[in-house]
A and B are shown apart, each in its own frame.
Chain A
Amino acid sequence: MAIKVQIPTPMRDQAGGKAEVDVTGSTVKAALDDLLRQHPGLTAKLFDNGKLRPYINVFLNDEDIRYLDEMDTKVTDGVILALIPAVAGG
C-alpha cells in the first residue's frame, strides 16, 4: 500500500492524465518529492523557487497540513494527500 496523492483537474496533463498518483515517503515533503520525481512537469505547477505556491493547500485526510507540522507532517501508507488549489471562477 502506498500514499495516494490526489491531483487537481487543471494539473492532470502534467501527471499523465492521472487523478491519483501512488507515492512513498515518511513526511509530506518526501511524498511530494516522490510525486515530482515521477511527474517532473508538476514542479512548476506546485512550487515556485522551492516553495509551495500560496494558493495551493495540502490536506492530509481532510486536515490542513498547516494545522499539523506543515511539510514535516508524518505520513504513513494508506493516507490520502489532496492538493487543493483555489477555485477562482463564478
Chain B
Amino acid sequence: MTDTNPLERYSRQMRFPGMGKAGQEKLLASRVTLCGCGALGTVLANVLVRAGVGFVRVVDRDFVEPSNLQRQVLFDESDVTNNLPKAEAAAVKLRQINSSVTIEPVVADINRTNIEDFCAGADLILDGSDNFEIRYLINDVAFKHNKPWVYGGAVGSQGMTMTIIPGETPCLRCVFEAAPAPGETGTCETAGVLAPAVNIVASYQATEALKLLSGNKAAVNKELLILDVWENTNRRVKVAPLAGRKGQCPCCAKRNFEWLDGAHGTQTTSLCGRNAVQVSQRAKGKLDFAYLASVLKQSGEVSYNKFLLKFQLVENGDPYEFTVFEDGRAIIKGTDQPDKARTLYAKYVGH
C-alpha cells in the first residue's frame, strides 16, 4: 500500500479526541513486548499493529494447532498445515496488516532467565499468556524496571483484567497473593473457553495499552474488571491500595522479586534416554488427585492412588503420559523437550 500521507490510515483513530495527531505520533514511536500469542495475544497484537504501535515484540513458545482456530484470530488452517510457531505465523499476518510498523517474532519459552531481555526497551508489557508463572514474572520485571503492564485472563465464559502501573496502582501480588496450586483452577484445555470472553478481555487490555502509549494515563481503569459473558455480569471492584496488605507486598512494597529470583515457579529436567521430562513445582501445597482426575478425564485416561496420578492422552497424534505426584511434580513421557513439557503441564495440570 502506498500512502501519500502515511498518517491517513490512522485518520479515524486520530479524529477521536482522546487520541488526536499527538497521541498517534506517540503510538508510532512506542514499543511493546507481548508475552504470549494465543487467544489474548492474537487479539492484542491485531489491535496494536492496526493502531500503529511502532514496534511489537511477540514472544511465544507454542505451535499453531487445530484447537486454536476457534479463538486465536490471527491464525488459519494453513498455519496448522505448515506447523508454524505462533510468533512466526502471527508476524506474517501482522506484516500484511501493517507493513509500516516493526514486528519482531521471538519463538521462546519465557522464563526468569530471559524475560528481562525480552522486555528491555519496552514502554509497556502486555500479558497474552495462559498461566500465572509468566504473569508473576512480568509483574516482577515491571516493578524492577518501572514499566506498566496489563494483566488479562479468561477461562470458560469468564475473564478479568487489570492495569498495573508501578508507583500508582497495586501489583498483581497485592490482588492475588500467590499462584493457584497446580490443578486448582481451570485451564482452557480442562474447563473450555468461549472466544468472545477472551476477545472482550483482550479488547479491554488493548484499550488500556492505547491509553498508556498515547499519553492518556489519566484515563486508565485502576480497578479490577471482572466479567462473565454467559451470566451477563460485568463489574469493577476496588482492589487493595498501593503497596496493599499494609505495606507487606513482597513485590511492590518490599521489592523482593521472588519469581525473577527463582524462589517460585517450575523447573524442568530432561530425563536422559527416557524421552521424558520432569516438571517440578516450587510452590508448596498438596494436589487434590480426586479433583484433578475429575477434570482430566475429559481429555484422556486417568487413574490415581494415594501417591500418584497417571494421565494418558494423545495430542495431534502424539501419545503422552503424565505421572503426577502429590507435591505437584510431574514426569511427562513422550517428549524430551523441556518447552513442550512445560506447555503440556500448563495446559493440563495448570497453574
Residues of A within 8 A of B (CB): 9-10, 19, 44, 48, 53-55, 57, 59, 62-64, 66-67, 82, 84-90
With CB as the reference atom, state the residue of chain A lying closest to B241: A67
A62 to B236 Cα, complex, angstroms? 7
Chain A residues with CB under 8 A of B40: 90
Contact B127 A90 (CB under 8 A): yes
Chain A residues with CB under 8 A of B105: none
Q: A19-B231, A66-B240 are in contact. Are A88 and B177 (CB under 8 A)?
A: no
Chain B residues with CB under 8 A of A53: 180, 184
Contact B237 A44 (CB under 8 A): no
Chain B residues with CB under 8 A of A9: 156-158, 228
**Closest CB-CB distance, A83 to chain B, in whole Å?**
12
B166 within 8 A of A: no
With CB as the reference atom, state the residue of chain B lying closest to A63: B238
Residues of B within 8 A of A (CB): 36, 38-41, 127-132, 152-160, 175-180, 184-188, 191, 193, 198, 201, 226, 228, 231, 235-241, 244-245, 285, 288, 350-351
A87 to B285 Cα, complex, angstroms? 19
Pairs across A and B, CB under 8 Å, 13 listed: A10-B186, A48-B285, A53-B180, A57-B176, A64-B239, A64-B240, A67-B241, A87-B155, A88-B187, A89-B188, A89-B193, A90-B36, A90-B154
**Closest CB-CB distance, A79 to chain B, in whole Å?**
14
Chain A residues with CB under 8 A of B179: 55, 86
Chain A residues with CB under 8 A of B239: 64
Kindly name the residue among A44, A67, A86, A87 whose own CB sees the greatest number of chain B CB atoms within 10 A.
Answer: A87
With CB as the reference atom, state the residue of chain A lying closest to B240: A66
Contact A89 B153 (CB under 8 A): yes
Contact A87 B160 (CB under 8 A): yes
Candidates A48, A57, A59, A88; contact of B185 at CB < 8 Å: A88
Candidates B129, B180, B241; contact of A86 at CB < 8 Å: B180
A59 to B129 Cα, complex, angstroms? 26
**Closest CB-CB distance, A69 to chain B, in whole Å?**
12
**Closest CB-CB distance, A17 to chain B, in whole Å?**
14
Chain A residues with CB under 8 A of B193: 89
Contact B238 A86 (CB under 8 A): no
Contact A88 B350 (CB under 8 A): yes
A84 to B238 Cα, complex, angstroms? 13
Candidates B36, B201, B237; contact of A84 at CB < 8 Å: B237
Closest 7 CB pairs of A and B: A89-B155, A87-B153, A54-B177, A54-B178, A90-B40, A89-B188, A86-B176
Kindly name the residue among B38, B153, B176 whose own CB sees the greatest number of chain A CB atoms within 10 A.
Answer: B176
Q: A9-B158, A55-B179, A55-B185 are in contact. Are A90 and B237 (CB under 8 A)?
A: no
Q: A19-B231, A90-B129 are in contact. Are A85 and B180 (CB under 8 A)?
A: yes
Contact B191 A44 (CB under 8 A): no
Q: A54-B178, A57-B175 are in contact. Are A87 and B185 (CB under 8 A)?
A: yes
With CB as the reference atom, state the residue of chain B lying closest to A59: B237
**Closest CB-CB distance, A88 to chain B, in whole Å?**
5
With CB as the reference atom, state the residue of chain A lying closest to B295: A10
Contact B238 A89 (CB under 8 A): no
Contact B130 A90 (CB under 8 A): yes
Candidates B152, B177, B288; contact of A90 at CB < 8 Å: B152
A9 to B40 Cα, complex, angstroms? 21
Contact A88 B351 (CB under 8 A): yes
Contact B240 A86 (CB under 8 A): no
Contact A10 B191 (CB under 8 A): yes
Contact B231 A88 (CB under 8 A): no
With CB as the reference atom, state the residue of chain A lying closest to B198: A90
